[in-house]
Structure 1
Amino acid sequence: MTTILGISAYLVAVTQGAAVLLAEASGVSYPIALIIMWLVYSSFTILSGAKGVMVNDTVMFFLFSIATYLSFPYIIKSAGGFPNAITKAANLAERPDLLSWHGITGPGATMGTPWEALAWAVIMGLVWGIVIAVSPWQSSRYLMAKNEHVAIRAGVWATISILTVYLFLHISISTITTIKADIAPTEKVFIWAAMNIVPTWLGVIIVSGIMASALSSCSSFLQIIGSSITRNIMEQSRNKEYTDKYLLRASRISMVIISLVILLIGLLQPPAVMWIGYFAATLFAASWGPIAFASVFSKKLTKEGAFWSIIFGFFGVILGESLGMFGVNLPVYFNPVIIGLILSIGALIIGSKYGVITREEREFQENILQTPIEIDEKKEMNITRRYPAYLMISGAMIIVTTLLFYYWPININ
């Protein structure tokens, strides 16, 4: 149930982001764009299932990566060329400290002081580290991999890719403010660049890449919701078995109902793509994080401890977020996710003092700690051992690139 609630919140954010893109690119109103997006991803997911989602994920990855790398030189050139574009963005009077290590701070900014910005970045970094490890939309993809070697290798390439994409995307997007500083909402900045700065052919790739990423997320989330309702709630939690045909029909009906609820929320709630996304991420980091690691490595965790850990972590985050509605402003180092994690870990420790670990549970845990042996294991392992080296080489290259494209232009004055 926490999966369904948390992913639904995330689905609201992504649906709104896709609708903002569609409205900007097509000229239709936001409500019409939202309805079109709902029709597209709902029908796509209900008809194609997990395989269709995986194909779309792959298309999205290549489209968005290509769009980011190809748009970088065009945006930099339009903003004054290198290194002038970076220097102008760093010294822009309307956005002081835009490219500083802490970003824009002060009374009118999201963060009050540089150290609050640093604390927030560290907390969010840890949260997303946990989310990538245990969240349902990530873990479901690991389970689809051919074997664990493939999952590890894909994870390394994904890490390298996301670091380089973020580096080029964030630097180029920051320079757009020197061309047009009043783009609102801020979610439209890259879309505006696609329609006003880069050549038309590249703008099509950018918009297609963003749309593919939105469809990828929407379809992934909706498919997981349908699967959770049928496999987890209807079958496993009730210890019942149904035919695949019955479960497929139930899954499709549940996805239609949930998607309609998401549509209504999107129409009533103004777009807040980033913040709703962060909220959903913190829900899973707090409610799933502690028990995900403890269920693998702890010999003392019981199902009672796991159950209450999820409950306290989930509602701990909601409690922390709700305090703002009553005028209580928490310091950045006491982010709602910290409240959720503390409560989750406490409930895990206390709850695990009750209940009994069965022999089957003990054997299952010992089994998952064993290294799986694949066909041609020696050959597969030799290939996998190369990947840490790839990661270290990419790290060195990213440091050099950052020095050349970020540090040097900002400090030449």
Structure 2
Amino acid sequence: MENPMFWPLMAFVALSFAVGVYTSKFVLGSGKRFLICGKAMPFLVVGTTLVAQALDGNATLGNTGLTYGGGFWSGMALPLGLGVSLFVVGRFLAAPLNSMDLITLPEFFYRRYGKKTELLVSIVTFCSFSILLAGNLAAMGWILSIVAGWSYPVALIAGTTVLFAYTIAGGLYAAIWTDFVQIYVAIAGFLLLAGWLFVTQDWQGALAALPPAHVDFSGLTSLAGGGLLNWSIIISLAFGNAVALDFMERVFSAKSGATARNACYYAGVLTIVAGLAASFAGLMAPSLIGDIADTRMVLPTIAVNHVPFWIGLLVMIGVVGASMSTCNGAIIATSAVVSRNIIQRWTTANLDDEKLLRYTRIVAVPMTIGGALFALYRPEPGLLLVLAFDILFAGCVVPLFAGVYWPQANSVGAVASIVCGTGARIAMNFLVPEELAGLDTLLPPVLSAIVFVPACLLTQSSQASRHHVVGRPAEALAPHGD
């Protein structure tokens, strides 16, 4: 029997495709317009695209499943960390970085530290966002497979094909236009879902029947209750997401620093509110569906069987839309990094604005295929999100914030901290015992900072400070070739 949600969901995917392809008319053969929309976007547009990047399949589908299995803080850690990251970016980074007229985030590291540091950051962020892309492709494919009755591989291939087609057509314009179609549907769906469960179910009884650790603060205060792991997720996302390529593309597209800052605050509030709604559904799930073997099925089961059709439809469409919007941004951002910060900087290719567009679209092909293959063999949305930002948190956060705010920061310290932090994170993945999970996330950035500061101070005489580049567009600076 055909799922009644099939045709509405297919119509939504078709609408996203049509809108995305239509936006190709605004690109005008320009790489800068394709990537950051000519740096002219107003508050509501930037805020909408930022919340669309934050509220992805991990923070919705992954959140609900983790809450069901481990309690409120296990799931809420994801959207809370992402929401806090938007406040951090808005308060400390949005205005100075927007003023620099950057196209990609690694470009900041080039201007501030030189091209060797830029290359390291490009490689680390590329790997991280490949994982992020895979996690959201997995969430999208999972929902499509449930609603359409297709196998997971077929659903993954179909969804990825549609997503890729409109992404390379319109770039960030496609992301912006489709975000308006997708993300407010997702937010409305989760708020209506939580509201319906609150009004029609015995939510007090449902919560009282849960183990106390699922609803109290032991998920933050007790090692046995997962406090160390949950805090590590929150902190990793809060600061690691500051090095998020897709977030920063949107910050760079804002017409001013103030616009970028306020848009971050707006997106942060919406991310946390929608995340709370998804976590509430996860807490209600045991009383509604009982035991379930696959926690990825928690949200779809509630949406299909325990709420009115139209609310369930909005939720299912919302997860697909949220995942598509994040995938769109990840494909654009990583392809731009490869073409602009690696190919252009380290080969003889001279990429003018038109060639930058062509190379970015070409690179998007293997990027998307690689993400889909990863999603096929490791379809774990929530865990993939955490891993993606652990990598960024470990090595890149310290030189980013120091580069903006500490004049003595230099390239020697930046390279040392990136190598040390990233290497420590990889090593601790094998060395830290399971009962201390979370230390492998929290310790590497500390080691990164410990290496960074003395390395900078000991090389002040041989390394010129380039702190003057912060907050200034490239046209106002003398070129440097290091």
Using the alignment, how far apart are the partners of 1:153 and 1:237 within structure 2? 36
- Tell whether 2:236 aligns with 1:127: yes
- Tell whether 2:179 aligns with 1:57: yes
Using the alignment, how far apart are the partners of 1:293 and 1:103 within structure 2? 29
| Preserved CA contact (<8 Å) 2:289 2:301 | no
* More displaced 10-residue stretch of structure 1: 11-20 or 175-184: 175-184
CA displacement 1:341-375 (0-9 Å, x = unmatched): 1332133224323374447x24324759xxxxxxx
In structure 2, the CA distance between the partners of 1:255 and 1:184, relative to structure 1 (3 Å rule), is farther
- Tell whether 2:139 aligns with 1:28: no
Using the alignment, how far apart are the partners of 2:307 and 2:184 within structure 1? 19
Using the alignment, how far apart are the partners of 1:313 and 1:165 within structure 2? 32
In the other structure, the counterpart of 2:469 is: 364
In the other structure, the counterpart of 1:180 is: 289
In structure 2, the CA distance between the partners of 1:10 and 1:323, relative to structure 1 (3 Å rule), is farther
In structure 2, the CA distance between the partners of 1:96 and 1:33, relative to structure 1 (3 Å rule), is farther
SS in 2 for 1:182: coil
Deviation, structure 1 residue 175: 0.7
TM-score normalised by the chain length of structure 2: 0.67
Using the alignment, how far apart are the partners of 1:262 and 1:63 within structure 2? 25
Across the aligned residues of Structure 1 and Structure 2, the Cα RMSD in angstroms comes to: 2.5
In the other structure, the counterpart of 1:282 is: 390
SS in 2 for 1:183: coil
SS in 2 for 1:4: helix
Deviation, structure 1 residue 208: 1.4
In structure 2, the CA distance between the partners of 1:33 and 1:112, relative to structure 1 (3 Å rule), is farther
* Aligned residue among 360, 373, 380 for 1:251: 360
In the other structure, the counterpart of 1:339 is: 443
SS in 2 for 1:68: helix
Using the alignment, how far apart are the partners of 1:232 and 1:104 within structure 2? 40
In the other structure, the counterpart of 1:100 is: 216
Given residue 143 of structure 2, which amino acid in structure 1 is its aligned partner?
L
Deviation, structure 1 residue 178: 0.3
Given residue 436 of structure 2, which amino acid in structure 1 is its aligned partner?
P
Using the alignment, how far apart are the partners of 1:47 and 1:301 within structure 2? 40
| Preserved CA contact (<8 Å) 1:64 1:209 | yes
* Aligned residue among 304, 316, 331 for 2:424: 316
In the other structure, the counterpart of 2:193 is: 71
- Tell whether 2:262 aligns with 1:262: no
Given residue 87 of structure 1, which amino acid in structure 2 is its aligned partner?
G
SS in 2 for 1:280: helix
TM-score normalised by the chain length of structure 1: 0.77
| Preserved CA contact (<8 Å) 1:42 1:219 | yes
| Preserved CA contact (<8 Å) 2:413 2:451 | yes
In the other structure, the counterpart of 1:220 is: 329
| Preserved CA contact (<8 Å) 1:97 1:104 | no
Deviation, structure 1 residue 320: 1.7
* More displaced 10-residue stretch of structure 1: 135-144 or 51-60: 51-60
SS in 2 for 1:178: helix
In structure 2, the CA distance between the partners of 1:133 and 1:104, relative to structure 1 (3 Å rule), is closer
* Aligned residue among 188, 205, 208 for 1:87: 205
Using the alignment, how far apart are the partners of 1:312 and 1:55 within structure 2? 40
In structure 2, the CA distance between the partners of 1:123 and 1:264, relative to structure 1 (3 Å rule), is closer
Using the alignment, how far apart are the partners of 1:250 and 1:118 within structure 2? 45
Deviation, structure 1 residue 60: 3.0
Q: Percent identity?
A: 21
Deviation, structure 1 residue 162: 2.3
Deviation, structure 1 residue 103: 5.0
In the other structure, the counterpart of 2:434 is: 329
In the other structure, the counterpart of 1:396 is: none
In the other structure, the counterpart of 1:142 is: 251
In structure 2, the CA distance between the partners of 1:322 and 1:341, relative to structure 1 (3 Å rule), is same
Deviation, structure 1 residue 264: 2.1
- Tell whether 2:266 aligns with 1:157: yes
* More displaced 10-residue stretch of structure 1: 127-136 or 350-359: 350-359
In the other structure, the counterpart of 1:298 is: 406
User: Which has the greater radius of gyration?
Assistant: 1
Deviation, structure 1 residue 77: 4.7
Using the alignment, how far apart are the partners of 2:220 and 2:338 within structure 1? 43
| Preserved CA contact (<8 Å) 1:173 1:189 | yes
Using the alignment, how far apart are the partners of 1:201 and 1:366 within structure 2? 47
Paired residues in the alignment total 349
* Aligned residue among 402, 408, 415 for 1:307: 415
| Preserved CA contact (<8 Å) 1:90 1:98 | no
In structure 2, list runs of 5 or more residues that go unmatched. Answer: 1-122, 474-482
Using the alignment, how far apart are the partners of 2:207 and 2:471 within structure 1? 55
* More displaced 10-residue stretch of structure 1: 237-246 or 299-308: 237-246
